[in-house]
């Protein structure tokens, strides 16, 4: 697993563009978390994705999106999903 951390402009349709990119390429997203940051004009999106030979190409495609400001790749142990895993496994 990998965690992608995206910084994007915060307005309607941005999440749809990001998710649509993955859907069109049949690339499964295992987890999504999105929150506004700072003054609310930007959001941070964390995507949990499986390791896949196409991941680097997906990142290149993400970088072409107009509203994407930055993308970082983290390992599976990134803290953003740890608490969520515990929450959902407790249910």
**Alpha-carbon distance 9 to 16, whole Å?**
13
Whether the full predicted model's pTM is greater than 0.75, yes or no, is yes
- Residue 6's Cβ-count burial label (10 Å; 0-12, 13-18, 19+) is buried
pLDDT of residue 90: 63
| CA 85 from centre of chain | 16
Q: Are strands 2-9 and 29-37 parallel, antiparallel or unpaired?
A: unpaired
Q: What is the pLDDT of residues 33-71, one digit of tens each?
A: 999 999 999 999 999 998 778 899 999 999 999 999 999
* Percent of the chain predicted with pLDDT > 90: 70
pLDDT at 16 over 90: yes
Record the tokens describing residue 6, joined without a space: 């995206």
pLDDT of residue 4: 95
Q: Class assignment of domain 2-90?
A: alpha beta
pLDDT at 89 over 80: no
The residue ranges of every structural domain in the chain are 2-90
């Amino acid at each position: 697993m990998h965690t992608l951390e995206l910084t994007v402009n915060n307005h309607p349709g941005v999440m749809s563009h990001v998710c649509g990119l993955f859907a069109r390429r049949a690339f499964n997203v295992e987890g999504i978390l999105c929150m506004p940051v700072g003054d609310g004009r930007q959001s941070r999106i964390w995507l949990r994705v499986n390791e896949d030979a196409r991941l680097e190409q997906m990142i290149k495609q993400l970088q072409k999106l107009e509203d994407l400001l930055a993308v970082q790749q983290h390992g599976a142990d990134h803290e953003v999903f740890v608490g969520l895993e515990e929450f959902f496994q407790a249910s």
